[in-house]
Structure 1
Amino acid sequence: MSKRKNKGFKKSKNKPNRSEKRYGKPNSSRGGPSKGKDKTASHRGRKTLTAEVTCSGLTNEGKGIAEWKGQQLEVPLLLPGEKAEVTVSQKGRFVNAELKRVVHPAKERVDPPCPYYYECGGCQLQHMSNQAQSRCKQDTIDELMKPFGKPETILTMDHPYDYRNKSHTTFGLNQNRQVIGGLYAQNTHEIIPMDRCLIHDPKADEIVQSIKDYMKNSKMQPYNEDTGRGFLRHVLIKVGKVSGEIMVVLVAASSEFKGKNNFVKALRKAHPEITTMLLNVNKRDTSVVLGNQEKVLFGKGTITDTLCGLKFEISAKSFYQINPVQTEKLYGKAIEMTELTGEETVIDAYCGIGTIGLVASQKAGKVIGVELNKDAVRDAIQNSKRNGVKNARFYQGDAGEFMVEMAARGEKADVVIMDPPRSGSDEAFLSSVVKLQPKRVVYVSCNPETQARDLEYLVKNGYEVEEIQPVDMFPQTYHVESVAKLVLKEN
């Protein structure tokens, strides 16, 4: 670390930085394109032209749908009813469309509050009003779940910003050799310098800004992917929204941290709310953020937060729901769907660190959590002890095989709660549910498309969908979660 006097971790008063490369927003003027034939050009074997189209609807990812020469285009940033000029490029059967200019804007179109919106790609719906975003997600769920009944009205967020309790920032140098930190531009490894992400916890962004200021006044250098030189790759920050505890993880290319004590002392002085700091070493040439080697620099190495009245310990690598405000709504609805009376045996499949199973334990007779990841199971057991839960047990293994073995032994479960990954469940797991024949299945999903597919299987094998509740877990993005209640049909 430099021996020269450090200027400290002062909060930046600069306006938000802009990327070296501008991606630009679409022109929203009402002037139409020139009349006549499409304007055509050619670039590296790709045929490119400009065409005027009208948007007829939205995809599940919030892209505008438009017809062009008998083909369906998917145009980012285009809204239903809008007329626009789009740039269409075609190579073989592959057609790509980008919004060039909005000729007639829709009333739902708004100016995105984030200055990086058109560059970043982390959010996809900021050009829509909040009402339009909710309607878009509701329409997605309504269409996907049409075979099973009418979903309930989506549960939205009162303040649809500042909700992420986890953020990660990448560091590098710009063309002038100045330290920058921000997010990668969509589908690239080009860093967009930014001071504030509107869906991050504000305190996390303040800490990142302090780290950038420190680097500018010291010898700490960002890691360069091309040369393999430098120290700091990323900073991961986790914030306990209820507890106020904050974890800062420096992801570095080396375990040799010169000036470590000075850095820790300075950052703690600027942000006394930080309760723990870690150094994570990632020497691999990979897009995975965290490496396997970890060292605690300050504090206990974990933070604790409260969700649905229960305390959970959070490590650098442990999974914890990103938006706790909406998670409480989601879990509350899921537990309501279980119809627990205090007598039931509940299986929490894909239980992770035990969050939803431990919440269910407050109303169930017995909870059995099953999870493949042994580290998550260890955390679930510790979380159970931490909250004094006596009626929950957690096992490492395949949940489907576990239930098949239960059925073979003649054991019963009244309720199965399943919260699979985005890929959904496989037929082996779903068939194990059918074999065990619980009275109710509560399916929590982060991907309604795979949920609809899995519901179809369960409906064909003796269950009926009784209720579907969409929840907006990630405002400003196209992602939407859904929880469905299925009941076993009487023979």
Structure 2
Amino acid sequence: MKQQAANIREGQEILLTIKRLGINGEGVGYYKRQVVFVPGALPEEVVEVKITNTHPKYSEGLVKKIKKASPHRVKPPCPVYDVCGGCQLQHLEYGQQLREKRDIVIQSLERHSRFNASNVDIRPTIGMENPWNYRNKNQFQVGTNDKQELIAGLYAANSHNLIDIENCMVQHEATNKVTRTVLGILKELGIPAYDTKKKSGIVKTVVTRVGFASDQVQVVIITISEKLPKKREIIEQINKHLPEVVSIVQNVNKENTPLVFGEKTIHLWGEEAIEEKLGDLSYELSARTFFQLNPVQTVKLYDEVKKAAKLKGYEKVVDAYCGVGTIGLWLADSCKEVRGMDVIPESIEDAIQNAKRHSMDNVRYEVGKAEDIMPKWTKEGFRPDIVVVDPPRSGLDKKLMDTILKTAPKRIVYVSCNPSTLAKDLEYMGKAYRPKYIQPVDMFPQTSHVECVVEIVKRV
């Protein structure tokens, strides 16, 4: 039997004043000292809420009526915003989104660490001039509607209901066009979507990625097995209708997991990678390699990394979770040596090629986990002055943090995509290191996500 939060029951209707935004973009209010999370509600609003779930420490509810609206509330321009799980903040004017994201960082620090806005400089969020059509990669699940027609889109929040999305307003226009055209080609050729319940069909996901600078597009068709009927016809139709596509790839993902990509990649046609440019640097991007999804903001993000690193020219730098080498190459002209590592072999291959392309001979890349490779380098006599980390949402591996603490670099630059795990990691390293400042960067406008660059220094 589920334990209910005190004073609140499921189905109950309450009047709530929203105090702030939660880390997932939901409104947060308090009813008889109990926290209530309300998706779609905004700070300063008074809302009638129906309680949908209760838990020992919090409850969840849905807005029935807005009694007093926030002065920052706007009408979402996307027609499927209310049902699609992709964006959370289109109903909040953009300038206020930036202020709320800084507040989310402050909340995370207060909840999970000894640090707060009084002992750390938490700067205003760096935003975008045009906070739309910024994503360079589109990963749409493929399924069928009630008429058994192929559709592609995202799952509604907390459900397996696939929402057909014709034009995603945060995606680059080229990825929208290519995705819809590829879906039409699969439909015309009778290539079925994979059905997880029936365990039948073929195509799971269509991924498109565009180089903002090159206008090149790559198409990745993700399938449940190596079987992909009518490959030649698919390639011919893509060539015919989409001249901007320079690379067509099949990826095989046999597992029933949230992970989009599987381990096996089959090159079908054209180039194996597309080109992208950030500042003066160009990069080769193959299908599975990680690359920041917002190239415009990535330049601002990496400039902030460089500021936080405070390079003088003599430093040895470790670029952990290096991907295709983007951050390391951004720093390489200002330091003595950069070493990077990543667990995806294709990423390291691309990183090596990217370094060669720019004639950078002071960089070195290896396949593997940072927590395994750094101790090996230390035994070889390599001791970094600066460690740059850009981990996944789960944060830093504790073994890696222990390695960093043992190696004792002068400075750590932490690029975070999750304020909660950032705060927990800062707390873990808090006896030896402290954050000097945190610079939030809005990499994903219209969503609740916020990226941060943190300069972390040794305690004196």
Match of 2:43 among 57, 80, 86: 80
In structure 1, which of residues 337, 341, 353 is the aligned counterpart of residue 312 of structure 2? Answer: 341
Gaps of 5+ in 1: 1-45
Whether the aligned pair in 2 keeps the contact of 1:251 and 1:280 (CA below 8 Å) is yes
Aligned-pair CA distance for 1:321 = 0.9
Question: Is residue 22 of structure 2 the alignment partner of residue 59 of structure 1?
Answer: yes
Q: Does 1:274 align with 2:245?
A: yes
Name the structure 2 match of 1:29.
none
CA distance in 1, matches of 2:172, 2:254: 28
Give matches, 1:19-34, under 5 Å. Answer: none
Q: CA deviation at 1:225?
A: 2.5
- Partner residue in 2 for 1:50: 13
Query: 1:312-343 deviations in whole A, cap 9, x for unaligned?
Result: 21111111111111111111111122121222
- Against the structure 1 CA distance between its residues 68 and 281, is the aligned structure 2 distance closer, same or farther, given a 3 Å change threshold? same
Give 1:55's aligned amino acid: I
* Contact preservation (8 Å) 2:289, 2:347: yes
Which one of the candidate residues 372, 394, 404 is aligned to 1:423?
394
Change in 2 beyond 3 A, CA 1:369/1:109: same
Q: Which residue of 1 aligns with 2:338?
A: 367
- Report the Cα offset of residue 402 of structure 1: 4.5
The whole-number CA distance in structure 2 between the counterparts of 1:403 and 1:285 is: 33
Q: Show the 5 A alignment for 1:3-42.
A: none
Given the alignment, which residue of 193, 196, 208 partners 2:164? 193
Counterpart CA distance in 1 for 2:312 and 2:318 is 15
Cα 1:136–1:292 change in 2 (3 A) is: same
**Correspondence for 2:454:** 484
What TM-score do you get using the length of structure 2 for normalisation? 0.89
CA distance in 1, matches of 2:341, 2:288: 19
Distance 1:282 1:345, change over 3 A: closer
Distance 1:181 1:329 in 2: 32
Say if 2:100 is the partner of 1:129. Answer: no
The DSSP-based 3-state class of the residue aligned with 1:434 is helix
Matches within 5 A, 1:90-489: 90=53, 93=56, 95-143=59-107, 144=109, 145-146=116-117, 148-404=119-375, 411-461=382-432, 463-489=433-459
Name the stretch that deviates more: 204-213 or 129-138. Answer: 204-213
1:17 is aligned to none
Kindly indicate whether the alpha-carbon contact (under 8 Å) linking 1:407 and 1:435 is maintained by their aligned counterparts in 2: no
TM-aligned CA distance change 1:255 to 1:375, over 3 Å = closer
TM-score when normalising by structure 1 = 0.84
Taking a change above 3 Å as real, the CA distance of residues 106 and 408 of structure 1, as seen in their structure-2 partners, is same
Which of 82-91 and 424-433 deviates more?
A: 424-433
Structure 2: 5+ residue stretches without partners: 1-8, 110-115
Which residue matches 1:28? Answer: none
State which drifts further: 110-119 or 263-272.
263-272
Per the TM alignment, residue 87 of structure 1 is displaced from its structure 2 partner at its CA by: 0.8
> Any idea what the Cα deviations from partners look like across 1:340-389, whole Å, max 9, x if unmatched?
12221112222232211111111111112233444433332222222221
Secondary structure at the counterpart of residue 415 of structure 2:
strand
Q: Which amino acid in 2 is paired with 1:58?
A: L
Q: CA deviation at 1:489?
A: 4.5
Retained in 2: the 8 A contact 1:443–1:484?
A: yes
Describe the shift of the 1:450–1:217 C-alpha distance in structure 2 as closer, same or farther (beyond 3 A): closer
Partners of 2:371 and 2:397 within 8 A in 1: no
C-alpha distance in 2 between matches for 1:97 and 1:236: 34
Contact 2:286 2:346 in 1 (8 A): no
3-state DSSP class of the match of 1:48?
Answer: coil
* Structure 2 Cα separation of the partners of residues 429 and 216 of structure 1: 47
Q: How far has the Cα of 1:481 moved from its partner? A: 0.9
Deviation at 1:295, TM superposition (A): 2.5
The 3 A distance-change label for structure 1 pair 340 and 477 is same
Distance 1:408 1:178, change over 3 A: closer
Q: CA RMSD in A?
A: 2.3
CA distance in 2, matches of 1:106, 1:257: 51
2:242 partner letter: H
3-state SS, counterpart of residue 389 of structure 1: coil
1:89 paired to 2:52: yes
Residue 68 of structure 1 pairs with residue 31 of structure 2: yes
Percentage identity across aligned positions? 37
**Residues 278/410 of structure 1: CA separation in 2 closer, same or farther (3 Å cut):** closer
CA distance in 2, matches of 1:109, 1:319: 34
Summarize the Cα distance change of 1:297–1:405 in structure 2 as closer, same or farther, 3 Å threshold.
Answer: closer
Task: Check conservation: 2:288, 2:347, Cα contact below 8 A.
Answer: no
Q: Deviations over 1:100-125 (max 9, x none)?
A: 21122111111111111110121111
C-alpha deviation, 1:410, in angstroms: 6.1
Separation in 2, partners of 1:403, 1:284: 31
Q: Which moved more, 1:437-446 or 1:269-278?
A: 437-446
* Aligned counterpart, 1:15: none
Native 8 Å contact 1:223 1:253 kept in 2: yes
Deviations 1:8-52 (A, max 9, x none): xxxxxxxxxxxxxxxxxxxxxxxxxxxxxxxxxxxxxx8312222
Change (3 A) 1:148 1:392: farther
Q: Number of residue pairs matched? A: 444
Task: Flag the 1:349–1:295 CA change in 2: closer, same or farther, 3 A.
Answer: closer
The structural deviation recorded for 1:95 is 3.0
Distance 1:215 1:153, change over 3 A: same
**Secondary structure of 1:146's partner?**
coil
Deviation at 1:237, TM superposition (A): 0.5
The one-letter code matched in structure 1 to 2:441 is V
Query: In the TM superposition, what is the alpha-carbon distance from 1:411 to its structure 2 partner?
Result: 4.9
For the 8 Å contact 1:442–1:484, the answer to whether it is kept is yes
Show CA shifts across 1:439-483 (max 9, x none): 22211111122222322344421x343322110111111111111
Instruction: Tell me the CA shift for residue 426 of structure 1.
Output: 4.0
Name 2:4's counterpart in structure 1.
Answer: none
SS in 1 for 2:122: coil
